Amino acid sequence: MKNKCKDCGNCCCETEMILSSRDVDRIRNNDLKNLPIANFVEKTDDGLFQLRNKNGFCVFFDSTIKLCKIYAVRPQGCRFYPLIYDSDKKLCILDQDCPRPELFYRDKQSHMKTCKKIVRFLEKQVLFTKL
């Protein structure tokens, strides 16, 4: 199966996607240089930066065609999806909001490797907020 994604938009609904400074730079360097950061970034209570939502969806989600407007330069967390970090359970899980999560990480080794990347990514963002 070439295209694993159903383009349902569930992953873009009420997103709490954490952003790194590299994510912000990559997005802005993609013909969005004049877009104020405040238009797509908000700060969490924990001091982390995350994607802003508009009308219940990520600001970059086109609800008409159900596609991401910045897919080629999407944030790192979006690239990891549907593997997400459950902060309550302290482990990576496949998001059940995705209708086909099992198609993205078929083998345990791939799942574990990406989970380690997610944890490192999140740790870097938390450390950055403490500077």
pLDDT tens by residue, 93-127: 999 899 888 888 888 888 889 999 999 998 888 76
The DSSP annotation for 87-99 comes to TTTTEEEE-TTSS
Helix (H, G, I), strand (E, B) or coil at 65: coil
Q: Is the per-residue pLDDT at 20 higher than 90?
A: yes
What mean pLDDT is reported for the chain? 87
Q: Which residue has the tokens 């508009």?
A: 54
Q: Is the per-residue pLDDT at 131 higher than 70?
A: no
Helix (H, G, I), strand (E, B) or coil at 39: helix
Average pLDDT over residues 20-28: 92
pLDDT confidence tier of residue 3, bands split at 50, 70 and 90:
low
pTM of the model: 0.83
CA distances for 90 relative to 95, 118, 124, angstroms = 14, 12, 16
Each domain of the chain, given as residue ranges in start order, spans 10-129
